[in-house]
């Protein structure tokens, strides 16, 4: 057996190869996204290797694919059990659960994800194949960069730098039986009420929904407010009553710097939360670390 001889050039090559592999394993990565006319975040993702267009939705709870897209993937293993939840308006939904092999966004891969399938049409949003939820990102911090339209997968090093420069806002996680995951934070409305709002990137832009039971406490005049009835996308027979009126301010409790003023809010009867807010007004770069339960606004 001949001895292995490392020349200087071979040693240098191996050193650079190891360095490259090591740095790649810990490097930031990102994918581009598009914004619809209403600021829904659209990302390219692959499920079991099949690519589609998905809404990146922090309010979805669990990842959803349309029946049309499911047909492209082929047979998925259906779990024996199901998951019953309530939409924000109190509408009850029971979802069958399916095991997939992977959800892939750029270099980020989630193995053995669980998802649901619905025969739903996203209408004016275009050819959408489903929703990517926060369930994929329990362990992976990420940044939504509205300025450069990129979804960035953060590292320990990048998170350390972000925490030094951003406004840190504590999050509360609604983790439902390890099947669905959404996030909330505390907001002060009109300098009067401190309410816990769901943070929903899937709501689009300029969406501020508040439980109608706070109308009186916030001094909203329902006589002068616009009243509408909205049918459910899943069951058109179910309609939700909404009053639309202006609120003076919505401010994150943890940071007065993160606020919006003079916005039109929808006061919704039967809302199961204190309220729901969209994401785009919170900051141009918003980072989430679900493991540490924090949102950092640049």
Whether this model's pTM surpasses 0.95: no
Q: Is residue 25 part of a domain?
A: no
Q: What is the pLDDT along the chain (298 residues), one digit of tens a residue?
A: 444 444 444 444 444 443 443 333 447 899 999 999 889 999 999 999 999 999 999 999 999 999 999 999 998 999 999 999 888 878 888 999 999 999 999 999 999 999 999 998 887 777 899 999 999 999 999 999 999 999 999 999 999 999 999 999 999 999 999 999 999 999 999 999 999 999 999 999 999 999 999 999 998 887 777 877 777 666 677 777 788 999 999 999 999 999 999 999 999 988 999 999 999 999 999 999 999 999 999 9
Q: Where a domain ends, among 121, 137, 165?
A: 165
Determine the pLDDT at residue 92: 87
Q: Does 138 share its domain with 191? A: no
Q: Are residues 78 and 66 both part of a single domain?
A: yes
**Overall number of domains in the chain:** 2
- For residue 6, being part of any structural domain is answered with no
Same-domain check for residues 125 and 105: yes
| Residue 238 forms part of a structural domain | yes
Instruction: Give the pLDDT confidence score for residue 185 in this predicted structure.
Output: 98
- Local structure of 1: helix, strand or coil: coil
Last residue of a domain, one of 165, 186, 209: 165
Give the residue from 165, 188, 212 where a domain finishes. 165
CB atoms within 10 A of CB 93: 15
The answer to whether 36 touches 277, Cβ cutoff 8 Å, is: no
What beta strand segments (E) does 106-238 contain? 108-111, 114-118, 130-132, 142-145, 150-153, 167-170, 172-176, 180-189, 193-199, 208-211, 226-231
CA–CA distance, 219 with 196 (Å, rounded to integer) = 19
- For the chain, the straight-line distance linking the first and the last C-alpha, in angstroms and rounded, comes to 60
Task: Return the pLDDT at 233.
Answer: 65
Contact 198, 186 (CB under 8 A): no
Q: What is the pLDDT of residue 199?
A: 98
Token pair recorded at residue 170: 């504590």
Q: Which domain holds residue 39?
A: 30-165
Residue where the block lists tokens 């049918």: 231
CATH number at residue 195: 2.40.70.10
């Amino acid at each position: 057996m001949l001895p292995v001889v490392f020349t200087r050039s071979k040693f240098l090559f191996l050193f650079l190869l190891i360095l490259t592999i090591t740095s790649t394993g810990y490097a930031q990565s990102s994918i581009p996204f598009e914004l619809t006319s209403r600021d829904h975040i659209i990302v390219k993702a692959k499920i079991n290797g099949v690519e589609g267009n998905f809404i990146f939705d922090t309010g979805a709870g669990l990842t959803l694919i349309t029946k049309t897209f499911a047909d492209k993937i082929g047979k998925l293993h259906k779990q024996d059990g199901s998951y019953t939840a309530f939409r924000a308006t109190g509408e009850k939904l029971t979802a069958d659960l399916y095991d997939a092999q992977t959800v892939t966004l750029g270099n980020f891969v989630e193995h053995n994800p669980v998802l649901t399938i619905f025969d739903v049409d996203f209408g004016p949003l275009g050819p959408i194949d489903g929703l990517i939820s926060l369930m994929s990102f329990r362990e992976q911090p990420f940044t939504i960069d509205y300025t450069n339209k990129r979804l960035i997968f953060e590292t320990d090093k990048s998170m350390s730098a972000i925490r030094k420069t951003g406004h840190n806002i504590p999050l509360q996680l609604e983790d439902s039986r390890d099947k669905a995951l959404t996030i909330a934070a505390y907001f002060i409305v009109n300098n009067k009420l401190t309410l816990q709002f769901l943070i929903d990137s899937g709501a689009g832009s300029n969406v501020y929904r508040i439980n109608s039971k706070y109308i009186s406490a916030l001094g909203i005049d329902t006589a002068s407010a616009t009243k509408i009835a909205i049918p459910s996308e899943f069951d058109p027979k179910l309609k939700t009553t909404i009053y639309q009126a202006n609120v003076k301010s919505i401010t994150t409790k943890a940071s007065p710097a993160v606020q919006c003023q003079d916005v039109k809010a929808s006061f919704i009867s039967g809302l199961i939360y204190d309220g729901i807010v969209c994401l785009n007004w919170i900051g141009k770069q918003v980072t989430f670390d679900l493991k540490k339960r924090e949102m950092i606004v640049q």
